[in-house]
A and B are shown apart, each in its own frame.
Chain A
Amino acid sequence: MAASQQALAERKQDDRRRGWQIFAVWFVLVVITDYLVWFVWGPHMPPGTMTNTAAAQQFDFKVLTAMVVPVLFMVWIYGGYVLINFRAKPGDRGDGVVITGNRKVQGIWYVASTVMVLFLAWFGTFELISNNGIGTGGGPSPIWKPNVKSPLVIQVIAQQWRFTYRWPQFGGMETTSLDLPANTTVKFDVTSLDVIHDFWAYQLGVKADANPGVNNVAYTTTTSQLGRFTVRCDELCGIWHGAMYNYGHVVSRSAFYSWAHQMQVQNAGVTKLLPPFSLTYTPSYSGAGGGYYPSYDPNGSTQTY
C-alpha cells in the first residue's frame, strides 16, 4: 500500500520541522551548559591551579567536558524528544510510520565524530608535549623537559610504607616532610626501595610511578599560589598502602629557604650516615635487612646536581 505523493511531501515537511525543533533545543542548551562548564564549574575542576601542570590538566578537563556536552545532549535531547512526541496514542493499534535512512544526517554524524576524535588525539599529544609531560613520569631521561637551567631537584624515595624526600642541592639531606618554594621549577626524581609505588601529589598535578631500580623523572613549576597539597601512594603496595600519604606545602621562597636550612641542621647527624646521592638504590634481593644503597650495592651510581 503506497502512500500518496501528497502524504509523502507532508511528512517530509513535518520531519524537517521536527529536526529544526530538536536542533534549536540542543543548540540553546549546549551554549548555556558549555558557558557554565567553562566559567562556573571549570575553575573548580581538579587538580586546581597550584602549579603549571595542575593548571594545564584543569584546562584539559575543561576542554574535554565542553566537547562532551554537545554529544551527550544530542543523544539525550533526541531520545527525550522521541519519548515525548512519538508515543502511540491510547487506542491506536496501527503500524508506525516507515523509517528510512537519511544520508545527510548520517554524514554529519560521521564527519563530526571523526573531526572530534582526531582533534582530541592531536590536542592530547600537543598538551603532553607543550607541558613537558604535564606532570607525569617521563622515565630516566624524559624527552620533554622545561627550559630551566637548574630546577630544584627533589628525590622521592618510596618505601613500604612511607615517602621520604632527598635534597641533593641541600647537602643530600633526607626528610619526611615536603615543602616547595613558590614560582619555582621542580624536578622530581622518583624511585623506590622495594615494590612499585606511585607518587601522586594531587594538587601539584604530578603523578609518577616509583619503581625499584628506576629513576622516573617528573617536572612541574609552582605558581604564586601558596597552600597545602596531598601526597598519596597510588599503587597498591601492601598492608599500609592506604596510610601511605603525607601533606606538603607550597610556601614563599624565603620561608622555603629557612625551612630547608632548619631541616639541614636538624638532620645533620643522620645525613652523614646516608650513602652518596644516587638516582636509584637497587634492591639487593637479599630479602630482609639493608643493602639498598650504593655503598653496599654495586648497581647503584652516584649523581651530583
Chain B
Amino acid sequence: MGIVLVSAAVAVGLILFGIFGYLRTYPPTVSAVASSTQPNTVNLTMQVDGAVGTGPHPNWVGWYIKNGAGKWVRTTLVQIPERSYVHVTVLEYDSGGPLRNEYWGKVSGTVGGSVNLNGKNVSVLNGSSGNGIAHTIVAPGLNLAIPVWGVNGNASNFCQAGPCSPAQAHNVETFTFYSGTSTHSYRWQCFIPCGVGYLNGNGGPMSATGYMAGFFKVVA
C-alpha cells in the first residue's frame, strides 16, 4: 500500500514538473512596433543565427526578435495588429545551401511580390548558387513565403553564437506583408530542414517553437 502511494506521488510530481517545466520554457510573445512615420504600419526586426547561444539549446539554430525596448528576445512568437502592413527587417547571420525543394526559393505574399536583399529587389533566390539559402519564413495561412539568403560560413567575422551583432557577417532582407482582415494565429515555419543531426533534419529546432517554428498572432 505504501509503495503504491509513494509511486503515485512520484508520478504526479513528475507530471507537474514536466508541465511547469514546459510552461517555464515556452517562448514569450513580442509585439511588432508601430511605425512613427507610416499609418497602419508596424515594424518588426528579426535575426536568425546558426546557433542561438543562449537558453536550454545554445547550439540550435533559431530566431531573435527585437522588442519595443530594442532588446533581442529569443522567440518566434510575434503579435501583430489586423489590417496592418508589417514591415519586416531580417538580419541573417547563418550560412546557407541548396533547398530540398527549390520551390521554396520563390518569394510570395509580400507587397510587390519581392523582397529587398542588401538593397536589391529579388523575387526568386537560387539556393544552388552562391551562399545559398539559410532559412525560410513560410506562413501558409498568410500565403507568405520568404527565402532568406545565407552568408559565407567561412567568413572571418562569421557569428558563432547568438545574439549576433551587425559587426558580424550578415545579410539584410526587408519585406512588407499585410496582416489580413481577421484575427487569427498563423503558424509559420522554416522549409529548410535545418535541424542538423535530427531525423531528416526536421527534428530539434525545426520542431520547437522559439527556434524554427512560430506564430504570427494577428490581434484586433
Residues B101 and A193 in contact, CB atoms below 8 Å apart: yes
State which residues 92-106 of B face A: CB under 8 Å: 97-103, 105-106
Residues B189 and A161 in contact, CB atoms below 8 Å apart: yes
Judge whether A291 is part of the interface by a CB distance below 8 angstroms.
yes
Judge whether A205 is part of the interface by a CB distance below 8 angstroms.
no
Q: List A contacts of B15 (CB < 8 A).
A: none
Q: List B contacts of A239 (CB < 8 A).
A: 206-208, 213
Q: How large is the interface on A (under 10, 10 to 19, 20 to 34, 35 or more residues)?
A: 20 to 34
As a 0/1 sequence over residues 135 to 171 of chain A, the CB contacts with chain B under 8 angstroms (1 = contact) are 0000000000000000000000101111010000000
As a 0/1 sequence over residues 78 to 109 of chain B, the CB contacts with chain A under 8 angstroms (1 = contact) are 00000000000000000001111111011000
Contact residue among A176, A195, A274, A287 (Cβ-Cβ distance under 8 Å from B102): A274
- The secondary structure that dominates the B interface is loop
Number of A-B residue pairs, CB cutoff 8 Å, is: 94
Q: List B contacts of A295 (CB < 8 A).
A: 128
Contact residue among A160, A162, A243, A273 (Cβ-Cβ distance under 8 Å from B126): A273
Q: List A contacts of B197 (CB < 8 A).
A: 287-288
Write the nearest CB–CB distance from A292 to chain B, whole angstroms.
5
Judge whether A289 is part of the interface by a CB distance below 8 angstroms.
yes
Nearest chain B residue, comparing its CB with the CB of A292: B100
Residues B105 and A160 in contact, CB atoms below 8 Å apart: no
Judge whether B131 is part of the interface by a CB distance below 8 angstroms.
no
Judge whether B37 is part of the interface by a CB distance below 8 angstroms.
no
Residues A269 and B193 in contact, CB atoms below 8 Å apart: no
Task: Give the interface of A toward B (CB within 8 A).
Answer: 157, 159-162, 164, 174, 176, 193-195, 238-240, 243, 246, 267, 269-270, 273-275, 283, 286-293, 295-296
Q: Besides A273-B124, A287-B198, 12 other CB < 8 A contacts?
A: A157-B101, A160-B200, A161-B189, A194-B100, A194-B193, A239-B206, A269-B106, A270-B124, A287-B196, A288-B196, A290-B127, A290-B128
